[in-house]
Amino acid sequence: MNVLLIQPFGNESNNNYPPMGLLYISAYLRKYSQHIPKIIDLRADRSRIEDHLDEIIQFNPGVIGLTGMSIEWSAIKYITTYLKARVNDNVVFIAGGPHSTIFSKMVLQHTPVKYVVRGEGEVSFVELLKCIQEKQSAADVKGISYLSDNDTVRHNDNRDSIADINDIPFPAYDLIDVEKYFLNPHFHGNLNTSKRVLPLISSRGCPFRCKFCHHSFGHKFRARSADNFIAEIDFLVKKYSIREIQIEDDAFNMDIDRAKLIFKRIISGKYDIKIAFANGIRGDRIDDEMVDLFKKAGVYRIHFGIETSVARVRKLVDKEYDMNKVNAAINAINKAGISTHGFFIIGFPTESEEEIRMDIDYAVKSKLATANFSILKIFPGTPFGDEYPDQHVPYSDDFSFSYDSTRTNLSLVSNDRLKKLQRHAAIKFYFYPKRIARIIRTSPSVVGIFTKNFAMVLGLILHGKTKY
């Protein structure tokens, strides 16, 4: 069966991060089925679905699948409704990815989507396509939700995670025009040393239970072997001459020995690439040997998910880590000349203005080079979402789902005050002489950081929105 997979482009999604979810399920599809995948990424070239209609009709898909974050919800709705009216009636619409996983009912009731694949999608998708092709019921396919004949929403049992992720083939980059992403890459943290940059994922899952997080890949940490991961770097360097990788794991250094082995292999492989930990790394699982390996291997930027430095709030959020170890890691990495970034969240339930200010002071005085201060969103499917079932972020527009909106606020601070504190945090953090000197010293491209990162900060200060 021809399977068309679409990455939507929404008003709020101003990045051109490659559609990793679609690239992985396509590769898996090709390895474990006869189906023929095709990917259309509207975000990569800011194109409209209307621009691709002829191409879609010609491909004649049996299934059309969409991915997307919540900030891309209106685009998911528009694209599925637009195509439903123009492709033949037998086409089955399927959705997956962060938004559809946590808002499966909303997606099934407000779009022509017949099935939602929740969470890790590879195995569920292959099984579901088999049912669709053989016109069998999908009632026993784990990990999916769908509209039953009487239009009630059915959620089949969750699927166990893939035990050995070394079984999953490398992302199917041949299904996209990779050169297009090298034109003006702005992925994660929008800071890159080269335009020939791609994201890599060396593990899935995170054992920690931070209450605001989706835990997209569950709590079991499943790691690719160093051989498997290095083979992908080798492939991307040889095939696409990449000069930089951005590691997107949720918990890359859970297994410290594996992490060190990977970096020893990158060093011995002489790949001459730059590396960023764009989605954060566990600051409490870093030692001097790891910092040394990072430096030698070309790591130039590391993000830390600090979220809050205030002990009472960290406990409340189940954000377990030893702050002394995290501070020691930030200091050592900064001393090694590697640029550091801190993710902070303000507006936690019962959080006071005083606690938010304590957190801002911590950030300002820290050795971090850059930071961003997001405002908590309570999404369904997160521990906070279970704890506050009637406080899920209400939808009025895609910005509602952005970490810059104040659509959910259970803190002791008013929405306006919270927004003012977010601006105050950015101003106090960035307009601090020592920080400016640190940014200049540790940034791979001073021009880049002032044009891109400061533009992001100014956008937040002036317009209350972080433009990625």
Beta-strand pair 144-147/153-155: antiparallel
Six-digit token string for 268:
């011995």
Binds ligand B12 by CB under 6 A, chosen from 110, 155, 214, 357: 214
Binds ligand B12 by CB under 6 A, chosen from 32, 240, 432, 468: 468
Our finding on whether 99 is near ligand B12 (CB under 6 A) is yes
**Cα 153 to chain centroid, rounded:** 27
- Of 111, 8, 3, 113, the closest CA to residue 56 belongs to 3
CA distance 273 to 194: 9
Our finding on whether 374 is near ligand B12 (CB under 6 A) is yes
Query: Do residues 248 and 188 touch, judged by C-beta distance below 8 A?
Result: yes
Our finding on whether 117 is near ligand B12 (CB under 6 A) is yes
Six-digit token string for 111:
């779009």
CB of 446 to ligand B12, least distance (A): 22
Piece of the chain touching ligand B12 by CB under 6 A; list 33-41, 90-98, 105-113, 301-309: 90-98
Piece of the chain touching ligand B12 by CB under 6 A; list 21-29, 351-359, 429-437, 451-459: 21-29
Binds ligand B12 by CB under 6 A, chosen from 8, 37, 98, 305: 98
What are the strands, taking DSSP E only, across 338-468?
339-346, 370-375
Six-digit token string for 416:
């306006």
Our finding on whether 373 is near ligand B12 (CB under 6 A) is no
Cβ distance to ligand B12 smaller for residue 210 or 356: 210
DSSP 325-359: HHHHHHHHHHHTT-EEEEEEEE--TT--HHHHHHH
Site string for ligand B12, 221-250 (x = CB under 6 A): ---------------------------x-x
CA distance 194 to 444: 10
Binds ligand B12 by CB under 6 A, chosen from 17, 181, 277, 384: 17
Cβ distance to ligand B12 smaller for residue 388 or 403: 403
Beta-strand pair 244-247/274-281: parallel
Our finding on whether 38 is near ligand B12 (CB under 6 A) is no
CA distance 21 to 221: 18
Site string for ligand B12, 393-422 (x = CB under 6 A): ---------xx-------------------
Binds ligand B12 by CB under 6 A, chosen from 39, 76, 175, 201: 201
Measured from each CB, the residue nearest to ligand B12 is 96
CB of 280 to ligand B12, least distance (A): 8
Give strand pairing partners of 93.
Answer: 64
CB of 372 to ligand B12, least distance (A): 7
Our finding on whether 122 is near ligand B12 (CB under 6 A) is yes
Site string for ligand B12, 56-75 (x = CB under 6 A): ---------xxx-xxx----
Amino acid identity, residue 53? L
Our finding on whether 366 is near ligand B12 (CB under 6 A) is no
Six-digit token string for 215:
């835990």
Amino acid identity, residue 108? L
Task: Please enumerate in sequence order all residues whose Cβ is within 8 A of that of 190, keeping only pairs 6 or more positions apart, or say none.
Answer: 15, 452, 453, 456, 468
Piece of the chain touching ligand B12 by CB under 6 A; list 117-125, 148-156, 424-432, 437-445: 117-125
Task: Classify residue 263 as exposed, middle or buried by CB count within 10 Å of its CB (0-12, 13-18, 19+).
Answer: buried
Six-digit token string for 446:
């001073």
Residues 270-299 that bind ligand B12 (CB under 6 A): 279
CA distance 271 to 266: 7
Our finding on whether 91 is near ligand B12 (CB under 6 A) is no
Our finding on whether 102 is near ligand B12 (CB under 6 A) is yes
Residues at the site binding ligand B12, with contacts judged by CB under 6 A = 5, 12-15, 17, 20-22, 24-25, 65-67, 69-71, 94-99, 102, 117, 120-122, 125, 188, 201, 213-214, 216-217, 248, 250, 279, 374, 379, 402-403, 466, 468
